[in-house]
């Protein structure tokens, strides 16, 4: 057996890859609960791929048959209801895990040198994940799926000169139709998953090249023993691979409770209008995107003034796009000499708290119907969101930081 393994390894270095990324990949020994979410994101990704494949076997990507095929999956396919709920709940779980993973990065400065590329790959994963979720949202061909897609695609029409042609190109038709459904289906099940998997691989390779960050923001490679092994590092396997099983168990417990008892989450995961087939002649009373898009949707709606001869709708799209784009330049905005929020000054802590509060409340405002008061609040919170980034080069440079220990703490 050993000779067979050696023969294979001489031609395909599986053992070397195992050692580099698991057995001899030394991770900081002070990982805390926030470091579960990277592994959980991979777990949810596998869930989405497996359940998506099985759902595709019974799904009919046509305007005439899409809604009926979903009903067929729910009622007649053996365990079809479970597969559908695992997939729909998994979509929301994916964003919950990813948002918490991103928050961990913001807290501990995981975007700072030398991990800028890891952050960029992570943000690209986030973008592709949003596109993947948007494409998949149309596939049930329910009322909210149809009209939500109609609203989002029409936003591109606000772009001067190219807007109408761009909207037409995305739809493949002059309105959301079976052609759009086929196009979104192909992107959702083939193109975007391939891109997503590629980015995940690059994200992990980039991480393992420079090493993992930790709650102290200390580079463990600076303190090595006589064998060149980091004194504050432990092999990822078996220590963290087994340790992560605890997080997986807790996550699966909560996930299964939602799947079996609250799969619709009161209309947050699966909206009530989506249990009606798409009707181009009947507009739902209130149209809103699914919850993980609503912070940016609230920013879009917060813009109500025409500027420079261009409509408010266009500037709303600009604000929404800028809210995502500004995350890409975060590594170059933070001028703090320390990484972790543990050792940053009070200004950074207040700024991060206001940023998180603003994002969460914007998420709520994007779900509920707009009123004058809610629009004003959304405008204030959108301003706070952008000020977190715009002022970062100043408050991170001027604040007094705490001394960082030479070795990692608990």
* Binding site feature residues: 87, 101, 188, 203, 208
Binding residue positions for a ubiquinone: 208
3-class secondary-structure state, position 1: coil
3-class secondary-structure state, position 97: helix
Q: Supply the Cα-derived Rg of the chain in whole angstroms.
A: 23
Binding residue positions for heme b: 87, 101, 188, 203
Spatial distance between the Cα atoms of 213 and 211, rounded to a whole number of angstroms: 7
Spatial distance between the Cα atoms of 313 and 154, rounded to a whole number of angstroms: 10
| Cα-based distances in Å from 259 to 81, 155, 255, 256 | 10, 33, 6, 5
Spatial distance between the Cα atoms of 198 and 191, rounded to a whole number of angstroms: 11
List, as one string, the DSSP characters of 327-366: GGGGGGT---S--STTTS-HHHHHHHHHHHHHHHHHHHHH
CB count within 10 Å of CB 59 equals: 20
Spatial distance between the Cα atoms of 144 and 85, rounded to a whole number of angstroms: 17
Q: What H or E segment, with its residue span, contains residue 26?
A: strand 26-28
* Beta strand residue intervals within 150-298, DSSP E: 233-235
Angle subtended at Cα 318 by Cα 313 and Cα 320, rounded to the nearest 5 degrees = 95
Q: What H or E segment, with its residue span, contains residue 382?
A: helix 372-390
CB count within 10 Å of CB 11 equals: 7
Q: Which two tokens stand for residue 346?
A: 């009070």
Nearest Cα neighbor of 208 from 339, 35, 20, 41 is 20
Contact between 282 and 143 under an 8 Å Cβ cutoff? The reply is: yes
Residues 6+ apart with CB under 8 A from 101: 37, 38, 41, 122
Q: Which two tokens stand for residue 118?
A: 């890891």
Contact between 119 and 104 under an 8 Å Cβ cutoff? The reply is: no
Q: Where are the alpha helices (DSSP H) in 139-214?
A: 143-155, 163-171, 178-186, 192-210
């Amino acid at each position: 057996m050993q000779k067979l393994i050696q023969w294979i390894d001489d031609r395909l270095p599986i053992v070397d890859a195992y050692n580099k990324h698991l057995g001899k990949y030394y991770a900081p020994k002070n990982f805390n609960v926030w470091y579960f979410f990277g592994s959980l994101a991979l777990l949810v990704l596998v869930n989405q791929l497996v359940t998506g494949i099985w759902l595709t076997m019974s799904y009919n990507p046509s305007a005439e048959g899409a809604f009926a095929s979903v009903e067929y999956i729910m009622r007649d396919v053996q365990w079809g209801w479970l597969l559908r709920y695992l997939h729909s709940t998994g979509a929301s779980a994916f964003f919950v895990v990813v948002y918490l993973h991103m928050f961990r990065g913001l807290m501990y400065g995981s975007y700072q040198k030398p991990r800028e590329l890891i952050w960029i790959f992570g943000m690209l994963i986030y973008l592709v994940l949003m596109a993947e979720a948007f494409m998949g949202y149309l596939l049930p061909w329910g009322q909210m799926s149809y009209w939500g897609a109609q609203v989002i695609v029409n936003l591109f029409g606000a772009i001067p000169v190219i807007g109408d042609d761009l909207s037409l190109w995305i739809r493949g038709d002059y309105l959301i139709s079976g052609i759009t459904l086929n196009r979104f289906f192909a992107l959702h099940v083939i193109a975007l998953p391939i891109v997503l998997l590629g980015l995940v691989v690059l994200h992990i390779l980039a991480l393992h090249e420079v090493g993992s960050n930790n709650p102290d923001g200390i580079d463990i490679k600076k303190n090595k023993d006589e064998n060149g092994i980091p004194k504050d590092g432990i092999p990822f396997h078996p220590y963290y691979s087994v340790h992560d099983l605890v997080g997986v168990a807790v996550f699966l417990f909560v996930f299964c409770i939602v799947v079996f008892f609250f799969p619709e989450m009161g209309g947050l995961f699966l909206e009530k209008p989506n249990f009606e087939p798409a009707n181009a002649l009947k507009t739902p009373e209130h149209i809103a995107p699914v919850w993980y898009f609503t912070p940016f949707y609230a920013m879009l709606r917060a813009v109500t003034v025409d500027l420079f001869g261009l409509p408010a709708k266009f500037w709303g799209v600009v604000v929404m796009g800028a809210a995502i784009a500004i995350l890409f330049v975060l590594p170059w905005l933070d001028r703090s000499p320390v990484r972790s929020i543990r050792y940053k000054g009070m200004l950074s802590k207040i700024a991060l708290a206001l940023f998180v509060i603003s994002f969460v409340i914007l998420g709520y405002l994007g779900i509920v119907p707009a009123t004058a008061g809610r629009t004003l609040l959304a405008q204030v919170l959108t301003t706070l969101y952008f000020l977190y980034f715009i002022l970062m080069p100043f408050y991170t440079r001027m604040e007094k930081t705490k001394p960082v220990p030479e070795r990692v703490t608990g």
